[in-house]
Structure 1
Amino acid sequence: MSEHGTQTGYGTRYAQSMIPVFGTPQRVLVRGKGVHVWDERGTRYLDLLGGIAVNTLGHGHPSITSALSKQAENLAHVSNFFATPPQIELAETLLRLAQAPEGSGVFFANSGTEANEAAFKIARRHGGPRRPRILALADSFHGRTMGALALTSKVAYRAPFEPLPGGVEFLPANDEDALAAALAPGDVAAVFAEPIQGEAGVRPLQPAYLQALRRLTREHGTLLILDEVQSGIARTGHWFAHQATQGVTPDVMTLAKGLGGGFPIGALIAFGPETRGLLTAGQHGTTFGGNPLAAAVALAVLGTIAEDALLEHVRTVGDAFAQAVTALGDDRITEVRGAGLLRGIGLSEPIAAQLAAVALEAGFIVNAPNPTTLRIAPPLIITAEELASFTAALPGLLDTTTASVTEGA
């Protein structure tokens, strides 16, 4: 652990009590408000990562705390032997925002990987023995459970747990010819894709490729399953990232992260009655999925996004941020990718991890999904001025990073 946690004793306690799957924590955080968090020593940080695109409304937002406390006083959990008004209302709201056709349906889970597990089952039900193949994209990330891991391309994640569920093949992203060739035999059950590949370095699929995905999968009777776990819930300035591309409506969409604004929830939307009917009673389930606490919080998140006009805000401040970073004219920055408030700053050298560490010391929480990308996914309530403070600091952070890397070489 960092010296912060070690000096307060948290480092030893963490190491003794936790399975070390997350490595060494960078800080022990004890409080948050708005777009800032504080560690146990009182140091304040501008949260530009939002719990990896989770804290939609920042920290301690009154709409979330009110919804949570009010619902907890009433019903917290009843199991899925029963329904609750928040669960039903949330399903109806998601169907409306997704512009899903009549006969569509929602399944609630507790995380993105669980939503993708449900999608994997739907793909298998659709495919049956005559369609055993499932396609995913190179550099994809769909989760850590066994089915979701089978859809995730990174060998380092997959290799320790093989054999994984079979039948999954990986295609290069944005390659229409490879997609057409893979679908041509007519034996593909589903194609899984992220409209913006977050763990790959915030790399959007090209609009023409998304349209080709929709057209070709429909032609071949293949399901198009879009993983919007990271890119959904207004993160890009649209309710769901694929809505920015004309003519693209998935057969299945998976959600999580920002939906609960920090409270664990996942969701799957099946578009249309045929897809909805692929999972029937007893074929899937979850104890906690759609519990009234999670549903009430998610409704508060969606309601606040709409009431506070955050879709427009995200587009405006996100575009301004990308333009400001580009305008720095720093040769060490190659591009700014993504949309809205999901952005990847491309770097000319593999220094992203070191840059993220330097930024943390300077009071900015960012993330390095790969060696040449710095990712930001802040709360959607962040202001242009707060983002500008990071933009102004970035050249100096790069100077410090390149100097330390040169000294260590």
Structure 2
Amino acid sequence: MTSSVLPTYNRAPLHFVKGEGVWLIEEDGRRFMDLGSGIAVNALGHANPDLVQALTDQANKLWHVSNLYEIPQQEALATALTDNTFADRVFFTNSGTEACELAVKMARKYWYDKGQPEKVEIITFSGSFHGRSTAAIAASGAEKMVKGFGPVLDGFVHVPWGDHDAFKAAITENTAAVLIEPVQGEGGIRPLPDQCLKGLREICDEKGILLVLDEVQCGVGRTGKLFAHEWAGITPDIMMVAKGIGGGFPLGAVLATEDAGSGMVAGTHGSTYGGNPLGCAVGKAVLDRVTDPAFLDAVNARAGLLRQKLEGLVATHPQVFEGVRGVGLMLGLKVKVAPADLVQAGYASEVITVPAADNIVRLLPPLNITEDEITEAIARLDRAAATLAS
């Protein structure tokens, strides 16, 4: 049967009808362990009681009013974010892609208002993924992202990941900003070393360039800090956030310092649904949980256990795996087979993983996964690997 849905995804023939924590239940009753979390979205698992309560309470009061009016739930979430981050200002979006669009506009408008309209170039890095809008694909620059969608938005300068000399050579008098993921997700779980992120901040300060971080996938507790850049002890000027902040409800945000966001005045940007009462009520419940130091300590403990067990899995199946990389609960298995083959073998063993570039299979479990669930996850991955090995 031909689907009415536009075929832009190669969808697995699975039909999930219910979720419980780390579990997804297929309509035939099978229980799958979800180590993808909707691609790092369901930070607190499926049907988390606190999030369900926050959404239900708000749904019984008010859904939408538009940004023509002050929205108390939006103010509460924005204040919680600024209280816990570098930021002074927040704009809410519905997705990471929308956050990218605003971050690009904000960086360029900043320099326009400073009397330097020629400063429009934004340096980005190979392997990056910032969304699928016209600005986001131009920022990536990869052929698979831009092919067939020209003319591509101008003003992005692409340099190889990890090539410090190429990066420094790319800086010109027209450079407005640097845009980078502290941990590449789609690019294959590639963490930027702390010393590199520190060096990047120093160069941006020296050259008078804005540092824009994309923490759409690696933020909101995923690496064991509220945001990944905290491990390096630096702060950005602008930051993109989404995925985990809504715990499964569509929500994104751009965070900025007072200075970096100074060009975005009334009329320069907008969103029909961004910052709606429903999304912000859920986002506030997520943030209340994830900003708890005890919660983040538990994330790091579980991450250490999962990493240890994955190293054992790699050692057990050397014909399937090369190694483990990543940080916190944003981990990747480097495989010697096609990533899609391990993902498919996982389906047969009722465990969900997510493929990425560079022969990586991503593991992005809920941040509150338990030790027993980690043990069960490894057992299921072991069965999947054994199937491929045989």
User: Hey, what does 1:70 align to over in structure 2?
Assistant: 57
Match of 2:333 among 340, 345, 348: 345
In structure 2, what is the equivalent of residue 251 of structure 1?
A: 237
The residue that corresponds to 2:267 in the other structure is 282
2:111 aligned with 1:111, yes or no? no
1:261 is aligned to 2:236: no
Structure 2 residue 363 is matched with structure 1 residue 376: yes
For 1:218, the equivalent position in structure 2 comes to 205
TM-score by length of 1: 0.90
- CA apart distance, 1:393: 3.7
* Alpha-carbon contact 2:349-2:383 (below 8 Å) kept: no
Q: CA deviation at 1:123?
A: 1.9
User: Which residue of structure 1 aligns with residue 145 of structure 2?
Assistant: 157
- In structure 1, what is the Cα distance between the partners aligned to 2:358 and 2:388? 13
Which shows bigger deviation, 149-158 or 304-313? 304-313
Paired AA for residue 165 in structure 1: L
Q: CA deviation at 1:394?
A: 3.1
Match of 1:228 in 2: 215
What is the identity, as a one-letter code, of the residue corresponding to 2:262?
Answer: G
Structure 1 unpaired stretches of 5+: 1-11, 404-409
Match of 1:192 among 165, 179, 203: 179
CA distance in structure 2 between the partners assigned to 1:203 and 1:16 by the alignment: 36
Identity %: 40
Letter in 2 for 1:315: N
Aligned residues: 383
**1:27 Cα deviation after fit:** 0.7
The answer on whether the counterparts of 2:41 and 2:243 sit within 8 Å (CA) in structure 1 is yes
Offset at residue 73 of structure 1 (A): 1.2
The one-letter code sitting in structure 1 at the alignment partner of 2:299 is: V
Deviation at 1:281, TM superposition (A): 0.9
- Relative to structure 1, is the Cα distance of residues 44 and 169 closer, same or farther in structure 2, using a 3 angstrom cutoff? same
Q: Quick one: which of 132, 142, 147 aligns to 1:144?
A: 132
CA 1:268–1:176: 2 relative to 1, 3 Å: same
Deviation, 1:317, is 0.8
Counterpart check, 1:387 vs 2:371: no
Partner of 2:120: 132
- Aligned Cα root-mean-square deviation (Å): 1.5
Partner of 2:304: 319
The 1:105/1:371 distance shift into structure 2, 3 A limit, reads closer
Cα deviation for residue 120 of structure 1 reads 0.7
Give the secondary-structure state (helix, strand or coil) at the position aligned to 1:276. Answer: coil
Match of 1:5 in 2: none
Q: In the alignment, what sits opposite 2:290?
A: 305
Secondary structure of residue in 2 paired with 1:268 = strand
**Whole-Å separation in 2 of the counterparts to 1:97 and 1:175:** 32
Code of the aligned partner of 1:299: K
How far did 1:275 drift?
1.0
Contact 1:50 1:377 in 2 (8 A): yes
Q: Residue type of the partner of 1:180?
A: K
* Kept after mapping to 1: 8 A contact 2:110/2:262: no
Shift, 1:91, TM fit: 0.3
TM-score (norm 2): 0.95
Instruction: Assess if the C-alpha contact under 8 Å between 1:228 and 1:255 holds in 2.
Output: yes
